[in-house]
Structure 1
Amino acid sequence: MSYEVRYSDSAKGRGLFSKTKLLCDTTILEEDPLVSCQFQWNAAYQYLACDHCLRPLETAQENATRLTGKMVELPHPECCCTDKSRFSSCPSCGLQYCSTECREEAYNQYHRILCTQTTDKNSSHPLEQLNEAWKQLHYPPETSTIFLVVRLLARILQAPNREAAIAQTLQFCHHTVNEDADLAHKLLGEKFAGQLSLLHNLLVAAVPHEGIEQFLTFEGFQSLLALIGTNGQGLGTSAISQWVKNTGTLPISQEERENLDSFVDNLYIQMDSNVGEFLNNEGVALYALQSACNHSCSPNAEPRFEHNNHRLSLVATRDIEEGEEIFISYLDECILGRSRHSRRKELVSNYLFECHCSKCEAEADEPDVTSEEDDDAEESMEDSS
């Protein structure tokens, strides 16, 4: 392996380090998650994805037609990756999977516990009640889902070695009770923080208790919410983006290439006009190795989803020297481009640490906010008055 997990001075805990020199664009590692789950509203709006790995269950043409709101006929249908002949469904509850392999993996890992044993949606089932409660408390844009907690607990219950599965889960839980409570409230937002008890009661009703009692106390529940809030990795898949990527390799003439590029540009304009930024099947996952990567405001790697499912690829974004720590950014591009003060404020609020990366240290003498952020703050104060 080209990496190892060991103690990191930067985080006073574990970190991921290179064991050899890695060139820019090198895939450092690939891993499947402990658990993953599509966002609840994303699924409700018919973003069709495998219930296990989030691989699209639409063809590229179906995807484009739904996202534009009009019938679209894509050229070069051979560039679509969707293979409906491989689709499979749970015979008891009807959940859809991209393959028999995914259906069996889901059943063996967590779905046997969670299967509703009915082909009809039963609104009185505890899982459906939990689903509806979460959706009412967590409207789009979604950042997580309580069903990641549900699957994580079911995974423990179905594990051949329950103690090992619990230990693996606990490696993500490292905050104090008060910190967990703050993070759990942050995940829901101030408006709905008082609904934690409702979600806790519904979760307790939805899963068996034996062997996981420590996670089903109110404090244990808050700890699990904090876990997914700080370690959950967002992911997205798309039939149309894979079609576009594949058309880029077609051996066609320059004129055909220009016409195809124009078609694709116009297609994205139509999709953006109809659904805005909500183009992908979106969800969240929990990864054992990727979660060992610490944050830097000047990262040297980034997670990608190059297989169009929940398999994560960690890719170097610049050359990494042997023995160097591998960093990713916990912040999105917008926040990453802001001042040191703004970045640190975001990290303290959502991850409970103050960043001391090389970029933050180099900017230590700069003003706390940028002029642009000052203007935004002044406008906000004027609006409130």
Structure 2
Amino acid sequence: MACSKETFINHGVKICPSLETQGRGLFTTRSFKNGETIIEEQPLFSCQFSWNYAYGYSACDFCMRPLETAEENARRLTAKPDLILPHTECDGTDKSFHVICSKCAVTYCSVECKDQAWNQYHKTICCNMLGGNPNHPVEKLNEAWKKMHYPPETSTIMLLVRILANFIQRSDREELKGQLMSLCHHTVNEEETIAHKLLGQEFESQLELLRDLSTKALGMPETNEFLTPQGFRSLIALIGRNGQGIGTSAFSVWVRKVSENEIDPTTDALIDTIYQEMETESGDFLNNEGSALFAIQSAVNHSCEPNCVSTFPFSNHTVALVASKDIEENEEVFISYLDECALSRSRHSRRKILEENYLFHCNCSRCQLEADEPDMTSEDEESMEDD
């Protein structure tokens, strides 16, 4: 598949118009084998979800690396304070590197993360962080968001806070504006739909409340254009549409290292038991969860028959796109925006989910191939499975 007018090229990929979507797409500039990493990318911004933070999931405030040891993580999620994990050498958490902001006590996994946070956004909002000052507009903004957006979370207003704080701190604001503009592909109607999806039925009044609190917290000449009614709506739509979910877990790192090194086959039963106890005690909420904006990753389009997957191999906010099949040079890279369960559904159900959540009508190769199949909702499919 040929493309033209490329806008980015680096490390075997390029961003240019996609014939599939008539928008941006990510294409290869060389071939990749199944299992090969196509790119690794750090986000423009990332942030832990507000309720996830409030419930005590401990992660680096910059990169979301777990701050708990695997044993601490397992003890908390199983509610078993005496649980002992063997093979501590497989624990990926080293607390000797952890540092705390002396002004507001926010914790980072390393000095490097602390410095990057300070230079990017933390200098502006330090001492006004979550829980630090309940009367400060940043905290009032966060609390207002939490009341509008209960778990399971899909985004966070604190991502927007970091964007605005970065505009205040940095000198090359046009570069940041250009990066954010590359993520914006919405009409006014689409932005309203995304805001409605994110905030619920009373989204107009809620949007205005969030805008007012954001203005009180971060309203400065550098941010004024983003705090107008339309500018703010656009930012909300940007984080709602482009936010990539992140999940990190100290226990999952330990499990992976134990399995990779084949240290002790007898731990398989222990691992299964712990996961069962975690599910009983904590349900689906097992990870440090958050959202991030990626400049390159955001260009990857959806397919119901993807050729790569997004992974987080370092248990932080660095994303890796990994080929899930052989990919030829100049071929478009696709991921699935749907989870495995939704991806197994009928064409009609998949398209319905994508239209409701991502505002596009999927016409991927699989959807075209299944065009003659009868329309079937997820409820219909579940009924057939029960029979």
Please tell me the TM-score bracket, short chain as reference: over 0.9
Q: Deviations over 1:330-377 (max 9, x none)?
A: 12222222121222222222222211110111111111215x633769
Determine helix, strand or coil for the equivalent of 1:46: coil
Change beyond 3 A, Cα 1:121–1:24: same
Deviates more, 1:164-173 or 1:357-366: 164-173
Query: Counterparts of 1:367 and 1:98 in 2: how far apart (Å)?
Result: 52
Determine helix, strand or coil for the equivalent of 2:332: coil
- Relative to the length of structure 1, the TM-score reads 0.93
1:166, distance to aligned residue in structure 2 (A): 1.1
Query: Counterparts of 2:131 and 2:275 in 1: how far apart (Å)?
Result: 36
Query: Counterparts of 2:174 and 2:89 in 1: how far apart (Å)?
Result: 47
Instruction: Tell me which residue corresponds to 1:224.
Output: 235
- How many residue pairs get aligned? The number is 373
Candidates 23, 48, 71, aligned match of 2:58: 48
Where do 4+ consecutive residues of structure 1 move more than 4 Å? 117-120, 375-378
Candidates 115, 132, 135, aligned match of 2:143: 132
Query: Counterparts of 1:194 and 1:185 in 2: how far apart (Å)?
Result: 11
Query: Counterparts of 1:47 and 1:289 in 2: how far apart (Å)?
Result: 28
Task: Give the AA of the match of 2:77.
Answer: L
Instruction: Tell me which residue corresponds to 2:5.
Output: none
Determine helix, strand or coil for the equivalent of 1:190: coil
1:115 aligns to 2:123 (yes or no): no
Contact kept? 2:30, 2:329, Cα under 8 Å: yes
Candidates 324, 330, 341, aligned match of 1:323: 330
1:82 aligns to 2:88 (yes or no): no
Contact kept? 1:137, 1:192, Cα under 8 Å: no
Change beyond 3 A, Cα 1:279–1:193: farther
Contact kept? 2:131, 2:139, Cα under 8 Å: no
Contact kept? 1:59, 1:81, Cα under 8 Å: yes
Determine helix, strand or coil for the equivalent of 1:326: strand
Instruction: Tell me which residue corresponds to 2:367.
Output: 360
Candidates 16, 25, 28, aligned match of 1:18: 28
Equivalences for 1:220-369 in 2 at 5 Å?
220-250=231-261, 252=263, 256-257=264-265, 259-369=266-376
Determine helix, strand or coil for the equivalent of 1:106: helix
Instruction: Tell me which residue corresponds to 2:4.
Output: none
Contact kept? 1:339, 1:369, Cα under 8 Å: yes
Query: Counterparts of 2:249 and 2:37 in 1: how far apart (Å)?
Result: 21
1:163, distance to aligned residue in structure 2 (A): 1.2
Contact kept? 1:209, 1:216, Cα under 8 Å: no
Contact kept? 1:5, 1:292, Cα under 8 Å: yes
Query: Counterparts of 1:117 and 1:297 in 2: how far apart (Å)?
Result: 43
Output the aligned Cα RMSD. 1.9
Gap regions ≥5 residues in structure 1: 379-385
Q: Deviations over 1:304-330 (max 9, x none)?
A: 000000000111111111111001111
Task: Give the AA of the match of 2:154.
Answer: T
Query: Counterparts of 2:382 and 2:150 in 1: how far apart (Å)?
Result: 25
Query: Counterparts of 2:361 and 2:130 in 1: how far apart (Å)?
Result: 49
Query: Counterparts of 1:251 and 1:300 in 2: how far apart (Å)?
Result: 29
Change beyond 3 A, Cα 1:198–1:377: farther
Determine helix, strand or coil for the equivalent of 1:309: coil
Task: Give the AA of the match of 2:43.
Answer: P
Task: Give the AA of the match of 1:335.
Answer: A
1:119, distance to aligned residue in structure 2 (A): 11
Contact kept? 1:92, 1:117, Cα under 8 Å: no
Query: Counterparts of 2:194 and 2:231 in 1: how far apart (Å)?
Result: 13
Change beyond 3 A, Cα 1:251–1:142: closer
1:373 aligns to 2:379 (yes or no): yes
Q: Deviations over 1:39-60 (max 9, x none)?
A: 1111111100000000001011
Q: Deviations over 1:10-62 (max 9, x none)?
A: 11122100111111111000010000000111111110000000000101111
- Relative to the length of structure 2, the TM-score reads 0.92
Task: Give the AA of the match of 1:293.
Answer: V
Determine helix, strand or coil for the equivalent of 1:85: helix
Instruction: Tell me which residue corresponds to 1:211.
Output: 222
Contact kept? 1:53, 1:102, Cα under 8 Å: yes
Equivalences for 1:55-66 in 2 at 5 Å?
55-66=65-76
Candidates 32, 39, 45, aligned match of 2:42: 32
Over the matched positions of the two proteins, sequence identity in percent amounts to: 54
Instruction: Tell me which residue corresponds to 2:6.
Output: none
Contact kept? 1:5, 1:17, Cα under 8 Å: yes
1:171 aligns to 2:178 (yes or no): no
Query: Counterparts of 2:131 and 2:299 in 1: how far apart (Å)?
Result: 41
